[in-house]
Amino acid sequence: MQISSKFTIGVHLLALVDYLGEDEKATSTVLASSIGVNPVIVRNVMRNLKEAGLISVSQGKSGISLTKTPDQITFYDVYKAVESVKDEGLFHFHENPNPECPIGRNIHKAMDSKLERVQRRMEDEMRKITLADVMTDIHNELKNE
C-alpha cells in the first residue's frame, strides 16, 4: 500500500497558493520550483484539484487561487482529488488466489472487510486534518528560522 506523491504534491501546491495569496502570482513554474518537480506534473495535479473544485485557474493576473478557505480543505479532499483509489479502494488484492488451497479460496472473505475498515479509518483521520493545520505548522516553522 502506498499513496503516491501526487497527494503530497497537492498539499504542497495548495499551501504555496495560500501562502502567496494575492501578493504573488502562483503559476505552474513557480509551484514546480517550490515542489521540485517538472511543471507538467504540477499541471496534472492542478487539473485534478481544479476538477475537484479546490482551486481555480486563470491565465490573467490572478493565476491559481483556492476556491475554499484553508480550514475547509481537508487531506481527504486532496486525497480523493489526486489519487486513483476512488473506485478500487486503497488496497489492491491479488487477483488469482488458488481455489484449491484452503487459504486461497478463503483469503478474500477473511481480509476484505478488514482492509475496508483500515481504509475507512485512514480516510476518517484525513477528514480531520486541514490545509489550515499545515499552514499553522509552516508559519510556526518560519517564526523559528
Q: What is the pLDDT of residue 23?
A: 78
Q: What is the pLDDT of residue 87?
A: 61
Q: What is the pLDDT of residue 77?
A: 97
Contact between 74 and 56 (Cβ < 8 Å)? no
Q: What is the pLDDT of residue 61?
A: 62
Q: What is the pLDDT of residue 128?
A: 98
Q: Which domains are present in the chain?
A: 5-144 (1.10.10.10)
Q: What is the pLDDT of residues 128-137, one digit of tens each?
A: 999 999 999 9
Exposure string (b/e) for 57-92, b if CB count within 10 Å is 16 or more? beeeeebbbbeeebeebbbbbbbbbbeebeeeebee
Task: For cell 513554474, name the residue.
Answer: 29
Bridge partners, 130 (sequence order): 74
Low-confidence ranges of the chain (pLDDT < 70): 1-2, 60-62, 85-88
